[in-house]
A and B are shown apart, each in its own frame.
Chain A
Amino acid sequence: MSDPAPIIGIDLGTTYSLAAYMTPGGPVVLRDEAGHALVPSVVAFLEAGIVVGSEARAHAVENPLTTVYSVKRLMGKDVGDLHEDLKFLPYGVVSFNQMACVQIGRRLVTPQELSAIILREVKTRAEAALGQPVSRAVITVPAYFDDAQRQATRDAGRIAGLEVERIVNEPTAAALAYGLDRKQDALIAVYDFGGGTFDVSILRVSDGVFQVLSTDGDTHLGGDDLDRELIELITSEIRAKFGASLEFPPSTRQALRNFAEAAKIRLSDRAEARLQVDLGGDRVFDRLITRDEFERRAAKWVDHTIEHAAAALKAAGVSVQQVDEVVMAGGCTRIPLVRRRVQEFFGRVPYTAINPDEVVAMGAAVQAGILAGMQRDTLLLDVIPLSLGIETMGGAMGKLIMRNSTIPCQANETFTTYLDGQTSVDIHVLQGERELARDCRSLGRFQLSGIPPMPAGMPRIEVNFLVDANGILNVSARELRSGKEASVQITPAHGLTRDEVQRMVKESYAHAVADLTAHRLIDLRNEAHRVLAAIDKARREAPSALDAGQQAALGEAVADLKARMDGQDPDALSLAMRKANEAAMPLTQQLMDEVLRKTAVGKKLDEY
């Protein structure tokens, strides 16, 4: 009965993606030979082809228009939802069929296809690590993702060649990853602050039952926003110093973004971070940013997260004192300010034992294990985050399913016709908490047809709205007088139709890289080039940093690496690279200081 192919858990993150799988001993994160689990969620379109991950990210400054990051922010959305983001994104985003799409040259690429490219990379690495093909996955989404965003994620999985067995909420996954050892009743709050999204969920865990009581959040609040605070600080000061009309072309913006992100991360460990930006023409922007300054700017975003936490508690009907444990997920939870505020608010030290970058993927693996029948004792009861309803007369939102209802759940509503002989009825389905339809999120128009012709007002069309375990809406309809099943045609508001997804699945199979080894070899060779270049540069900058013995060892390792690069053995190449990095360690440690340098060697920022 059970399929031998494992179901893997995938965290498709705004900044990083990774996979894990379930073993009898618990969830295990899948890593490459170098021990890396995280794949940067970046796709670059180069002349030579499409690259993903670290390699793509390395190209960001040189190719800002064709390197796409933070795709997750575009999923299930249209351009109108993204005004703030668009100011900061160097790549082109245009609206097509009410979907935000990325413009690469002449081509328009949907966020689903971009996410599929990332997923395909994660899938390939998982297959390499597991030593067997992978075709089934559980993919995580922010708890606050609406129907359109969830469908987009599922479509991305399909296009990547995966059977998406379940879409699971990220905070719930984090709770699953932590909860394996807990047997007693506990009230758990999960605080998930990622690169682009924020969620907080309140769960009751008792005797293997994980019941989500409520969830709250913002799919548009994350580490990216903190980066932007620093970017704005830097750009405004640069303008003040070097000219108010100084424009920042895409490659400059990308470089500044790299600086800001690196500074943000550095400030988690150090009280200050130094920025040196070479603007060309003898203009250098040299600035020491303190943690205090960063925290002052970051404070308002962190305050928002605490507001959401308070709202989640209220919706769950519990007080902050009743919370037994606070669990953290997402890279931003490493920031000292965040940890302080969370501890202040909940009045207890948050539990951070599991790597916040990995905990969600591990939880997805646990869910995969449940689906594979490995865990009969664990029952997961999640909720729908936003109310679902239809547009009623006068443009109001008529709620049919309330937010925080345990899923699966359903509601029925009966409609009729207003013209004699009318054989189809349109309904407009919405998601959100506001009173007016126009303030809620449109899920699309549902056309119910095949209604037997009758006088106006006679037909009794019962429409069943069923939200499945993925938190995705399924609509079916039946005309009660005749008993006839109506056909439901969905025109999604911000998504792909079934046919479009099918087409993309076919196309991606045609472009799939057939030879796994060849792909790995290309990746490794590129990485080896960079390692050699970095070692070379370091040697030039600190020629006397190594003693004779260390110099000899390094020389040998470098020669070996160069030899392996021409070979056909990816494992040997990977090993040689690791050895070269180790031999260079004493050298690079000397060079590590507070100064952050530009990523591309020898490149100056454009000037106006």
Chain B
Amino acid sequence: MSDSSRADTAAPVKCRQCDRPLTQPLVCDFCHALNPIAAGKDYYSLLGLPRQFDVDVEQLRAKFVALSRHAHPDFHSGESAEVKELSLQMSSAINDAYRTLRDPASRAGYLLELLGGRSSAQDKSVLEGFLGTMMMLQEEIADAKAAGDQPQQARLRGVLLIQQEGLMKRIGSLFTQYQEAVGCEAVRRQLLDELRKQINAVSYVRKLLTQLE
């Protein structure tokens, strides 16, 4: 299974207004008309970015802003109901895409599912020993809060942030390994499984962090 970042259509799609081939899914380069999002378009192709974990956040924002300038309902106020509807759909898709890809953890979860990995609902497992650590930390947080111990809470927060950082590094490395393991389905399966566990772990850590805010 290839993970090409190009559009997976047979023939190039044409702009519905000027009939020229579309180089990107939403807005025609020539006439700037809004074109309906083809079914199955993922967030990466919507924003015109390669399908990978490492994302240049500045570039992501630039693409998001550029597309919004065309798609946002504010710029289609005087047009037909059809165009207004298109603009609404498109803006929400672009906003959802930006929100998901901007945060490394949600990006990781999204990319994992795109690559065929299981969703968090389907697989809630984590690496061995992790839950035990989390439960201990949970108790320590509860104790620190009950005692009103601010310095301790700050320390625990620091610990959790380091955990999160470590997990995100591991996740990044796993995605890189996935990209390099071309054709090795067995290896890829394993990598996706571990990715699922690591991403689940990040969710736990984040839940605990919210208690310390």
Contact = CB atoms under 8 A, between A and B. Distances in A.
Interface stretch (B3-11, B20-28, B66-74): B66-74
Contacts, number: 58
Which of B74, B98, B213 gathers most chain A CB within 10 Å? Answer: B74
Nearest to B213: A314
A165 B78 CA distance: 10
28 contacts: A2-B78, A370-B74, A370-B75, A371-B77, A372-B77, A373-B75, A376-B75, A379-B68, A380-B72, A380-B74, A381-B68, A381-B72, A381-B95, A405-B95, A406-B95, A408-B92, A408-B95, A409-B92, A409-B95, A409-B99, A410-B92, A466-B88, A467-B92, A468-B73, A469-B73, A469-B74, A469-B88, A469-B91
Contact of A466 (B77, B78, B92): B92
A3 interface: yes
Nearest to A377: B69
A209 interface: yes
Contacts of A372: 77-78
A510 interface: no
Nearest to B77: A371
A1 interface: yes
A407 interface: yes
B143 interface: no
A380 B65 CA distance: 10
A406 B97 CA distance: 11
A468 B88 contact: yes
A376 B75 CA distance: 8
Nearest to A2: B78
B182 to A, nearest CB: 34
A407 to B, nearest CB: 7
A424 to B, nearest CB: 25
A409 B65 CA distance: 15
A407 B96 CA distance: 9
Nearest to B93: A410
Nearest to B79: A1
- In order of increasing CB-CB distance, the 8 nearest A-B pairs are A371-B77, A408-B92, A410-B92, A406-B95, A408-B91, A469-B73, A409-B92, A370-B74
B115 to A, nearest CB: 22
B78 A406 contact: no
A506 to B, nearest CB: 24
Nearest to A371: B77
B72 A379 contact: yes
Contacts of A467: 92
Contacts of A469: 72-74, 88, 91
Contact of B78 (A3, A367, A409, A468): A3
Contacts of B68: 379, 381
A409 B96 CA distance: 7
Which of A372, A373, A408 gathers most chain B CB within 10 Å? Answer: A408
Contacts of A2: 78
B74 A408 contact: no
Contacts of A165: 77
Contacts of B91: 408, 469
Interface string A450-481: 00000000000000001111000000000000
Interface string B73-113: 11101100000000010011001101100000000000000
Contact of B88 (A1, A3, A406, A408): A408
Given A165-B77, A410-B96, 4 more contacts: A371-B78, A373-B75, A379-B65, A469-B73
Nearest to A314: B213
Contact of A407 (B75, B78, B95, B213): B95
Interface in A51-107: none
A177 B68 CA distance: 21
Interface in B38-66: 65
Contacts of B96: 409-410
Contacts of B88: 408, 466, 468-469
A494 B68 CA distance: 33
Nearest to B91: A408
B98 A406 contact: yes
Interface in A362-378: 367, 370-373, 376
Nearest to A410: B92
